[in-house]
């Protein structure tokens, strides 16, 4: 018995000595580190290396304590508590500590009337883009016509625009004008838009306007066709589509805008030329909308059921003919080239972004835009403030503080 006590005392003295050495190594200025020799497995001690950190020294002490406990059964029980403490020197889970120390994140939705004066235009624009990205899969899943059909519908809806006075235009009024002879070819596309709108409205908290759907669906429908044409030539495993066709991406090159308001009745008659239109009629039409030969020649193949009819009418004007030649040189590059696709998307944007009643809204120009919800947020590391979310279920979780989301374990 006395011999085991003596052994324990001896080991205790050695442990205390090791502890004092560890402390001295930490507090002394000369740095002591272990470095592996390239010639042998021996460990060399050098004073010119970085200092041992406190955590490394404590971890080494814990390892010594564990070795002593394993080699001396008499001390195993005494060292259990010390060993448990030594193995949790990391300070526990930082996320758990933050969760305890931070107040709970609270999101209180407020009315649009209360919220919109307190949020800036950039926040509102981001909320609208959240909304657009949320509905994109719904739109794409319900597109069932060639993009030329949607292009024609968009042209006829925006085609009533008058740049002088900034009247009429891309406002969804086409739904009241389908009985007019010039809009007869738009019925099929509008029926598809109706189906897409029902699908979108079933998934969001604020219904999308007809004007917005008519303006943005051609973007997605065109990209479907661009990708199909590209992969037919380059193969399904070609990785370069997005890189080459970035100018057609609605969130990058194309930068689609939403927030157009719906008209509650038809626009005046006689503003959109019909089947018997002349070249002069088409030129005057686009001029009245504030557009020119670039937009006219791009839209010409989509004006009538026979694509050649519109293009033949357009090129009878000399300026239009030179623009058409430029476009044709782009097409000669082949289906794998982005030139024609980028031109189509850019000119579509020129029309749908500018031919809006009252003119194109700038960022923040509409104090209370569509598809934006507001909330008061506080706690979770956030400074109390009014913030914006896209108008669809669950968007408040995506829009809250990233730091608070990490604390809650959402990210």
31 against 147, higher pLDDT: 147
> What pLDDT is recorded for position 139?
98
Q: What is the mean pLDDT of the chain?
A: 81
Residue 105's pLDDT band (boundaries 50, 70, 90)? Answer: confident
Residue 276's pLDDT band (boundaries 50, 70, 90)? Answer: very high
- Residues 360, 374 contacting (CB under 8 angstroms): no
Nearest to 143 by CA among 199, 227, 207, 201: 199
Q: Which residues touch 372 (CB under 8 Å, ≥6 apart)?
A: 112, 116, 119, 124, 127, 128, 131, 388, 389, 390, 391
> What pLDDT is recorded for position 397?
74
Catalytic residues: 156
Is residue 44 helix, strand or coil?
strand
Residue 356's pLDDT band (boundaries 50, 70, 90)? Answer: very high
> What pLDDT is recorded for position 24?
42
CA distances in angstroms from 399 to 17, 95, 100, 390, 393, listed in the order given: 56, 20, 22, 8, 12
Strand partners, 36: 43
- What's the CA angle centered on 268, arms 267 and 270, to 5 degrees? 125
The Cα 225–Cα 341 span in angstroms is 10
- Residue 388 phi/psi, 5-degree rounding, is -120, 150
Its sign, for the CA torsion 313, 315, 318, 319, is positive
- Residue 310 phi/psi, 5-degree rounding, is -65, -40
Q: Which residues touch 320 (CB under 8 Å, ≥6 apart)?
A: 279, 283, 293, 296, 297, 300, 314
Nearest to 268 by CA among 169, 163, 355, 356: 169
> Does the structure show a pLDDT above 60 at 308?
yes
The Cα 155–Cα 410 span in angstroms is 44
> What pLDDT is recorded for position 5?
39
- Residues 133, 383 contacting (CB under 8 angstroms): no
> What pLDDT is recorded for position 76?
52
What are the pLDDT digits (tens) for 328-348? 888 877 778 898 999 999 999
Nearest to 188 by CA among 229, 135, 151: 151
> What pLDDT is recorded for position 54?
59
What are the pLDDT digits (tens) for 37-62? 344 444 444 444 455 665 666 566 66
In the Cβ-directed half-sphere of 409, how many Cα atoms lie within 13 Å?
6
> Does the structure show a pLDDT above 50 at 389?
yes
Question: Could you confirm whether domain 121-354 is CATH 3.40.50.300?
Answer: no
Instruction: Using the CB atoms, write b or e for 185-218: b if 16+ within 10 Å.
Output: bbeebbebbeebbeebeeebeeebbbbbbbbbbb
> Does the structure show a pLDDT above 60 at 29?
no
Domain ranges of the chain: 2-91, 121-354
- Residue 12 phi/psi, 5-degree rounding, is -60, -40
> Does the structure show a pLDDT above 60 at 27?
no
DSSP assignment of 341-400: HHHHHHHHHHHHHHSSTTSPPPTTTSSS-TTEEEEEEEETTEEEEEEEEESSTTHHHHHS
What are the pLDDT digits (tens) for 148-200? 999 999 999 999 999 999 999 999 999 999 999 999 999 999 999 999 999 99
- Residue 93 phi/psi, 5-degree rounding, is -75, 120
> What pLDDT is recorded for position 93?
62
* Helices assigned H by DSSP within 72-166: 73-86, 94-101, 112-115, 121-142, 147-158
């Amino acid at each position: 018995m006395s011999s085991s006590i003596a052994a324990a005392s001896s080991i205790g003295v050695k442990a205390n000595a090791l502890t004092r050495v560890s402390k001295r190594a930490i507090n002394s200025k000369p740095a002591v580190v272990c470095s592996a020799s390239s010639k042998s497995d021996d460990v060399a001690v050098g004073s010119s290396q970085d200092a041992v950190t406190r955590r490394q020294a404590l971890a080494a002490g814990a390892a010594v304590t564990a070795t002593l406990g394993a080699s001396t059964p008499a001390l195993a029980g005494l060292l259990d508590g010390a060993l448990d403490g030594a193995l949790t020197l990391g300070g526990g889970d930082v996320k758990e500590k933050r969760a305890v120390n931070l107040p709970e994140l609270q999101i209180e939705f407020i009315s649009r009337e209360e919220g919109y004066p307190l949020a800036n235009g950039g926040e509102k624009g981001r909320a609208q883009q959240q909304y657009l990205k949320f509905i994109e899969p719904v739109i794409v899943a319900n597109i069932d016509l060639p993009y030329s059909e949607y292009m024609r519908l968009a042209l006829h809806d925006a085609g009533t625009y008058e740049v002088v006075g900034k009247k009429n235009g891309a406002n969804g009024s086409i739904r009241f004008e389908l009985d007019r002879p010039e809009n007869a070819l738009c019925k099929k596309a509008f029926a598809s838009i109706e189906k897409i709108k029902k699908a979108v409205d079933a998934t969001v908290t604020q219904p999308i306007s007809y004007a917005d759907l008519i303006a943005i669906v051609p973007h997605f429908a065109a990209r479907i066709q661009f990708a199909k044409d590209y992969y037919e030539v380059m193969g399904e495993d070609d990785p370069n589509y997005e890189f080459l066709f970035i100018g057609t991406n609605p969130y990058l090159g194309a930068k689609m805008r939403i927030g157009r308001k719906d008209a509650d009745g038809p626009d005046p008659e006689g503003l959109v030329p019909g089947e018997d239109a002349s070249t002069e009629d088409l030129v005057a039409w686009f001029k009245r909308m504030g557009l020119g030969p670039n937009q006219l020649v791009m839209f010409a193949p989509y004006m009538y059921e026979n694509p050649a009819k519109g293009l033949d009418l357009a090129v009878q004007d000399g300026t239009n003919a030179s623009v058409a030649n430029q476009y044709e040189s782009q097409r000669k590059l082949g289906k794998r080239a982005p030139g024609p696709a980028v031109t189509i998307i850019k000119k579509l944007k020129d029309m749908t972004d500018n031919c809006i009643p009252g003119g194109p809204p700038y960022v923040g120009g509409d104090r209370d835009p569509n598809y934006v919800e507001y909330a008061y947020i506080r706690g979770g590391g956030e400074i109390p403030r009014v913030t914006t979310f896209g108008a669809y279920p669950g968007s408040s979780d995506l829009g809250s503080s990233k730091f608070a989301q990490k604390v809650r374990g959402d990210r």
